[in-house]
A = this chain, B = another copy of it.
Amino acid sequence: VHPICFLSDYGLADDFVGLCKGMMLRIAPKATIVDITHEVSGFGVEAGAEILEHATRYMPNDAVYLAVVDPGVGTERRALALQTASENFLVGPDNGLLVPAAESLGGVAAVVSLTNDDYHIQPVSSTFHGRDIFAPAAAHLATGLDLRRLGEPADLASLVRVESPAPKKEGPDTVMATIIGVDRYGNARLSATEEEASLEFGAPLKIEAGEGGGEMPIRYVETFGHSKVGDLVLVPDSHQRLSLSVNQGNASRALGLKAGDRVRLILLKNGPGRTARLEGGPDASS
């Protein structure tokens, strides 16, 4: 039986996650279920797609991914199951959530639309397809059911894709990135990685970001330990992406940042790195 890796935006305050898991264990009693996270927020589908794609590097092999971030539930959006070239499976709505992860798992080998209601739980709720359509499909795949039993084949080219928040090179020294999400500490996660922004630790740099759109000096540091309390810095986050942060402060509150905002990174040719001091003292060279 395959392990099931479960991502959603259901939160843990209600019984949504529990009912999906109960249903899966009713169908696949020996399945192991891993919760990737149930608190996807920020961009929603885009943020969920990024978290799911990243997670594939750390999840068990031969897994079934159940991913439900589904603002279109109750509309005509399709419900999908994908099989990848690496013999992993992904189940969720046709809104772009699954595609980046499928590509990281070797690419899509087969797609079906979950139209076979023999595998739905009746009555199917108009708002909770996680429990009634997606979780049962994931559990049946975990037990080894042939993907094609779940519904009609779908055309790979027909899948909805999310617009990539990939950073854009605007010039030799300028990169425009997007804020994918803001965490509970106020760190703003950018869509760019260190490589995409051509950064080296300690390099002099400025950013344009925030409500006023002003420029601010900033440094790229390996960890907060390489900065002072209140310093505005870029640090690599756990997904190897750049995080716009204030040491022991709240960068998003200080600069008025939110998911979806653009941030321009401008590499400076020379001179020592300067850093804006946002809390705990005046601006300071370092």
Closest B residue to A29 using CB positions: B60
Docked complex Cα distance between A38 and B74 (Å):
28
Q: Is the C-beta of A286 less than 8 angstroms from some C-beta in chain B?
A: no
Docked complex Cα distance between A97 and B114 (Å):
37
Q: Is the C-beta of A36 less than 8 angstroms from some C-beta in chain B?
A: yes
Closest B residue to A128 using CB positions: B238
Contact B22 A127 (CB under 8 A): no
> How many chain copies?
3
Residues in B neighbouring A87, C-beta threshold 8 A: none
Q: Is the C-beta of A59 less than 8 angstroms from some C-beta in chain B?
A: yes
Q: Is the C-beta of A254 less than 8 angstroms from some C-beta in chain B?
A: no
Contact with B along A63-98 (1 / 0, CB 8 A): 000000000011100000000000000000000000
Given contacts A11-B184, A14-B39, A225-B75, contact A23 B58 (CB under 8 A): yes
Residues in B neighbouring A37, C-beta threshold 8 A: 12-15, 17-18
Given contacts A14-B183, A127-B238, contact A22 B39 (CB under 8 A): no
Residues in B neighbouring A127, C-beta threshold 8 A: 223, 235-238
Given contacts A13-B39, A240-B125, contact A22 B34 (CB under 8 A): yes
Docked complex Cα distance between A237 and B123 (Å):
12
Contact A74 B223 (CB under 8 A): yes
Q: Is the C-beta of A154 less than 8 angstroms from some C-beta in chain B?
A: no
Residues in B neighbouring A222, C-beta threshold 8 A: 74, 126
Docked complex Cα distance between A126 and B237 (Å):
9
Contact A21 B35 (CB under 8 A): yes
Docked complex Cα distance between A235 and B127 (Å):
9
Docked complex Cα distance between A221 and B121 (Å):
22
Given contacts A36-B22, A125-B238, A127-B237, contact A12 B12 (CB under 8 A): yes
A-B contact list, 30 entries, CB within 8 Å: A3-B29, A5-B22, A12-B12, A12-B37, A13-B37, A13-B183, A13-B184, A14-B184, A15-B36, A15-B54, A15-B55, A17-B37, A18-B34, A18-B37, A19-B36, A19-B55, A22-B36, A25-B60, A26-B58, A26-B60, A29-B32, A29-B60, A73-B223, A74-B223, A123-B240, A125-B236, A126-B223, A127-B223, A127-B238, A128-B238
